Amino acid sequence: MRIIILILILVAVVISAGACTASPTSLSPVPTPPPAQAVPPPSTEESLPQPIITNNSVELCLNSRYSEHSLTGTASNQQIANILWAAGKAPVAGTYRDIYISTPSEEYSYKPGTHSLSRHSDQRVTGGAFVINCESALAFDTGVAYMLAMLSSVSLWKNSESSVANCPKQSSLYFGVQEVRGLTSELVAHSSVSQGDPGWLPDPSTNGQNKFEEVLADLKYVSEFSPENLTLQQVSQLLWAGYGCTPHVAEIGGRKGLTVPSAMAEYYLTGTIYLTSEKGVYRYHNRNPGTDLTTRDHRIEPIKPYDIRNNLRAAVSGMPQAPCYIIICLGGKAAGGTEQVKNWALLETGFVAANVLVQASAMGLGCYFEATLTSDEQTSIQKVTGIPSSDSPQVIISIGSVTK
């Protein structure tokens, strides 16, 4: 028995020694293989359906727009296609703008030229049907694209599919597919100035004969204009489209809604939008008094009673000759705010410019954007127009009839 036990112990020792010899750790180290490289997502493009045309006018969409903050639902490919197509129609004033969409499954890059999607990342939307993000050299360019996308979602409200609600949050634009308040042509703001006085504006139209998608397909973004001056009715319509009052009332403090959204309903451009025409320089007011966001108005305040357009063109390099200019400035909270507040305000300048462009195009007029003003140009603009030093010019929109 003692011999058997000794033999078993000896066998166990031999097996153990063999196991250790076979182990890599008992030999010279084996090089560690390099970590696996991440496989890039496929770049195959997926074509989107062509946009459908609704019977809703530019003016009706502008007057009906509002932000819905709680977003849910699932979007169809057609809804996504219409909205992305609209965003891609926006002109670019800076050096670049890239458009991305996050869905419940993944994120895609949108290619306006081919109206198609390419998978970009695994990032998914939370809190809505989908979200659009733009990466641009200028916050202004992001704002222009977002505004056209929002108007496209409003235009889809009178459609066989469920309605698409929208809301810009931070630097992203969220959408949901759900019940909305619906379209309205109710006009809620009339000029508080008597007809015949210098600041009077005629009522704008809140509905029209055009179709939003047809106007968007033929945006008149041009740099050459005919010399004929605009009528007061045209001026009134353009100012209302850009930053005029609508029936919507914001959830914060009963502030009256506008044709554009604004972060926390601050409406950063209140009292800082100016008009220059053959008759002089004017400040546009959509409030009465001008700082009370719970009021509504539609009037202009004379700043200079004579034509300064030649001096304005001389102040800005390369600005086209046009009969009318809208100058969008930052002042008040926007000028003295944080970097985030300034970014929100700059997005808002893009919202205004997009609305003016689409409204002008619906009226057979053209527009051109100057959104990269130097500090010297800003100072020169203030000097020749009489715009106060507290309002810093950011964007000039040239407007006029398109040269035949």
Q: Say yes or no to pLDDT of 14 above 70.
A: no
Give the integer Cα–Cα distance in Å for 70 and 165. Answer: 9
Of 230, 218, 216, 198, residue with least CA distance to 325: 230
CA angle 284, 189, 219 (to 5 degrees): 65
**Any domain includes 106:** yes
Q: How far is CA 224 from CA 237, 242, 354, in A?
A: 21, 21, 18
Where residue 30 falls among pLDDT bands split at 50, 70, 90? very low
pLDDT over 50 (residue 96): yes
Q: How many DSSP H helices and E strands does the chain contain? A: 10, 15
> Do 166 and 271 fall within a single domain?
no
- Kindly state whether residues 240 and 326 are assigned to the same domain: yes
Contact 381, 373 (CB under 8 A): yes
Task: Answer whether 251's CB lies under 8 Å from 265's CB.
Answer: yes
290 and 221, same domain (yes or no): yes
Please indicate, yes or no, whether residues 222 and 347 belong to a single structural domain of this protein.
yes
> What range defines the domain where residue 103 resides?
45-177
Give the rounded percent of residues in the chain with a pLDDT score beyond 70: 89
Distance CA 355, CA 344 (A): 17
Is the domain of 137 the same as that of 92?
yes
Strands of the 45-47 sheet, one edge to the other:
45-47, 116-121, 107-111, 97-102, 130-136, 172-177, 164-169
Whether residues 220 and 173 share a domain: the answer is no
The model carries a pTM of 0.89
Residue 163 lies in a domain: yes
- Whether 130 and 232 share a structural domain: no
- 307-314 — which CB contacts under 8 Å span 24+ positions? 307/277, 307/278, 307/279, 307/280, 308/276, 308/280, 308/281, 308/384, 308/385, 309/276, 309/277, 309/278, 311/384, 312/276, 312/381, 312/384, 312/385, 314/384
Q: Which of 391, 393, 238, 371 is nearest to 327 (CA)?
A: 393
Q: Write the CATH number for 109.
A: 3.40.109.10
pLDDT, tens digit (0-9, with 9 covering 90-100), for 274-300: 999 999 999 999 999 989 999 999 999
Which pLDDT score is estimated for 32?
A: 37
The answer to whether residue 161 sits within a structural domain is yes
Query: CB–CB of 184/247 below 8 Å?
Result: yes
Residue 352 has pLDDT above 50, yes or no: yes
> pLDDT tens digits for 189-234?
999 999 999 999 999 999 999 999 999 999 999 999 999 999 999 9
9 pLDDT exceeds 70?
Answer: no
How many structural domains comprise the chain?
A: 2
Which DSSP state fits 332? T
Say yes or no: 151 and 297 in one domain.
no
Lowest mean pLDDT among 40-44, 151-155, 330-334, 392-396: 40-44
pLDDT at residue 119 tops 90: yes
Whether residues 102 and 156 fall in one domain: yes
Burial classification of residue 403, based on how many CB atoms lie within 10 Å of its CB (0-12 exposed, 13-18 middle, 19 or more buried): exposed
**Per-residue pLDDT, 43:** 54
> Do 144 and 261 fall within a single domain?
no
pLDDT at site 159: 63
